Chains A and B, each alone.
Chain A
Amino acid sequence: MKTSPQLKPVARSNDELNEAQRLELYRLQVEIRDCEQRAYDLFLQGLVKGTSHLSLGQEAVAAGFAGAMVKGDLSFCTYRGHAHTLARGVPMEQVLGELMQRDNGLMRGKGGSMHLTSVEHGVMGSYAIIGAHLPIACGAAWRAQYKGQTDVSVCFFGDGTTNIGAFHEALNFAAVWKLPVIFVCENNLYMEYTPIKDVTAVEHPAADRASAYGLPRIVIDGNDADEVFRTARSAYAKARAGDGPSLIECMTYRYSGHSRADPAKYRPAGELEAWKKRDPIKLYRQRLTEFGIGEAQIKRIEDESMRKVDSATETCKAAPPPPADILTTDVYADGGWAWRN
């Protein structure tokens, strides 16, 4: 099993989280898992169009960070952004509707799977050009600092992002300006198809670069929602205290390929199975039991999640495609597309 040596066994003494928080973390993970699995099934049925990049296996990162946020905090995601969008409370039917390119979609089919955005939920966009959103998150954090507002911007990205220029520009910029921004690297071991370790000079592509920007080296178990939550909470506290940015590398694993077209045959035999033994949801379910939360209560969350996914699926299947008249809307702020008189 090619896990990082930094991965620790699941901690058993993390009692500063209360039961309600744990149930919420579990609910978020289960709903993301079910919705992503449904997106995959709908793709196989030809109902999810275009591309999609699933976070199956990576749910704990999204749940842990979203669980530690407060209303008003801002999320900046990548094209692998369904999980982070759902975690902020965006309704499933709007996410699935966008993936299915229906009029009920989050952006009425004008953005697609890679650009999920819900400003009212603090999801400030999903960015499909690697690294683009790190500087953008800096700008949102700059606004908070400038206006004396307390919200924190968090920016999620994959391990592959750590080798593009914008990553380094943003880290330096955020450190020099002491911005309230958190950079979260979801290290799932593969950039697209190529293992990140084959093309990177250091073992931990994000954390091992932190010292270059005067930041502490942080590597955590991204499959443990409690550890993610605790790390996130302290990074938020640091940012809100005016002590500047954090860079956090979360070790995790994606069960599916890079995108819908990728069967992930490049993975060595047994790797996926080994990671599935440390499945974030399985681990967390076990922990809930250890903390004395009853099976019925756990089951209720799981059933409710499946009911939501089924209901969202039916809503989206019945939704019409976007109408032709929105083709040219919202190019400019006047609502239209006029470039001439």
Chain B
Amino acid sequence: MAELTYRDAVARGIAQEMERDPDVVFLGEDVGSAGGVFKATVGLLEKFGPKRVRDTPISEQAILGAAMGAAMTGLKPIAEIMFSDFFAVCFDYIANEFPKSRYMSNGQVKCPLVVRTGNGAGSRFGAQHSQSIENWAMMIPGLKVVAPSSPVDVVGLMAAAVRDPDPVIFFEHKSLYATKGEVPDGEILDKLGTAKILRPGKDATVLALALMVPRALEAAEILAREHGIEVEVIDLRSLVPLDLQTVLGSVARTHHLFTVEENPRLCGWGAELASIAADEAFYDLDGPVVRITTPHIPLPAADNLEDLALPNAARIIDKIRRCLNA
């Protein structure tokens, strides 16, 4: 057991899979010599050499297209898109090519690849380098979508993503790279499509993802200590596949559902969860499903404004208290 940063966990997860399988290759901008702009891939070039760890030009379409062609014909590529905001310049592959090739070809074409990307706010980078875009991927049939919140989940879900036979979008949160956590020694393999109950509670279910997980946990701690409210915090970890057994099971016990989302309001992942809860857990609920999100705005650069935009513990606490009349 060692304490690892989220950042080091990325490199460890990739290294674990590259050691296991010679067909795993890694490409992206500045991922090799520079070790990644977030230093999340330090040491991989030295360990695996330039044939398997490849620095690319600033050509996001070429990166994802090449990953797809390689995946279709026998490799298991991991491609990095430096900032998830850049999905917008290579979205054809994410929306039209990876997820549709198997279906359109009646099962002939396979596309086992991972796109890992720096997602989320907190770095004061402004509106084009800070977005949380899990919903851009979640809405597309044929993709799998993962967003870990802890170092151990990074390693285990990375392994699961690389070994998965479908295209997986792997969202790493930029503001979590420096956070630390215990990671067991030896091979770690997690399972896609499994949520984790990180804190049990009887009064309400709180769903969170990535950076919103530690904030939801912080809020839960204060709600329990200061207000006697016990909320159950669930880290969804994976949006597709979606572990609704865990979510709906929790709602059946707590009778209240909150989502904590970093994305702007409209069509965030929580909207889908709220819709499902309305459909399948209506009679379990003692109140409306409440979404706590970033307002529907582009993100500002200034630190005080960015902090104001994102859900934080105080806002989560306030919203939950008001909704539960406590």
Spell out A's residues near B (CB within 8 Å): 74, 106-108, 110-112, 115, 117-120, 124-125, 127, 129, 131-144, 146-147, 153, 165-166, 169-170, 172-173, 176-177, 326, 329-335, 337-341
Contacts and interface: CB of A to CB of B under 8 A. Distances in A.
B72 A140 contact: yes
A30 B72 CA distance: 32
B70 interface: yes
Contacts of B70: 139-140, 142-143, 146
B141 to A, nearest CB: 6
B57 A176 contact: yes
A270 B271 CA distance: 59
Nearest to A116: B105
Contact of B242 (A127, A331, A340): A340
B305 interface: no
Given A135-B66, A339-B241, A341-B241, A172 B57 contact: yes
A339 B144 CA distance: 8
B102 A166 contact: no
20 contacts: A111-B104, A115-B104, A117-B104, A125-B109, A135-B62, A135-B68, A136-B68, A136-B69, A136-B72, A142-B75, A143-B75, A173-B59, A176-B57, A331-B142, A332-B102, A332-B144, A333-B165, A334-B165, A340-B244, A341-B243
B229 interface: no
B18 to A, nearest CB: 13
Contacts of B51: 146
Contacts of B103: 110, 330-331
A112 B103 CA distance: 11
Contacts of A334: 165
B243 A332 contact: no
Interface in B213-267: 240-245
Given A124-B72, A135-B66, A136-B97, A107 B106 contact: yes
Contact of B74 (A143, A153, A169): A143
A330 B92 contact: no
B235 to A, nearest CB: 16
Contact of A139 (B65, B92, B101, B105): B65
B141 A339 contact: yes
B107 A330 contact: yes
Given A129-B97, A165-B61, A119 B69 contact: no
B110 interface: yes
A298 to B, nearest CB: 36
Interface string B92-132: 11001100011111111110100000000000000000000
A143 B106 CA distance: 23
A172 B109 CA distance: 26
Contacts of B69: 124, 135-143, 153
B142 A332 contact: yes
Nearest to A329: B107
A341 B59 contact: no
Contact of A111 (B66, B71, B105, B142): B105
Contact of B96 (A129, A139, A177): A129
Contact of B75 (A115, A146, A333): A146
Contacts of B74: 143, 147
Contacts of A329: 107
B300 interface: no
| Size bin of chain B's contact surface | 35 or more
Given A135-B61, A138-B62, A143-B74, A340 B241 contact: yes
Contacts of B63: 135
A251 B66 CA distance: 28
Contacts of B155: none
Nearest to A111: B104
A133 B92 CA distance: 11
B61 to A, nearest CB: 5
A138 B61 CA distance: 11
In the A-B complex, the 9 residue pairs with the closest CB atoms: A135-B65, A139-B69, A333-B165, A139-B66, A330-B107, A169-B59, A169-B62, A140-B69, A107-B106
Interface in B4-59: 25, 51, 54, 56-57, 59
Contacts of B166: 332-333
B108 A132 contact: no
A166 B65 contact: yes
A110 B104 CA distance: 5
Contacts of A331: 102-103, 141-142
Nearest to B74: A143
Nearest to B108: A119
Interface in B61-86: 61-75, 77
B193 interface: yes
Contacts of A337: 141
Given A117-B109, A138-B62, A173-B62, A125 B141 contact: no
Contacts of A176: 57
A178 to B, nearest CB: 13
Contacts of A142: 66, 69-70, 75
A117 to B, nearest CB: 4
Given A117-B109, A139-B73, 17 more contacts: A117-B104, A117-B108, A125-B104, A135-B61, A135-B66, A135-B69, A136-B66, A136-B69, A138-B66, A146-B51, A147-B74, A172-B57, A177-B54, A332-B144, A333-B110, A339-B241, A341-B243
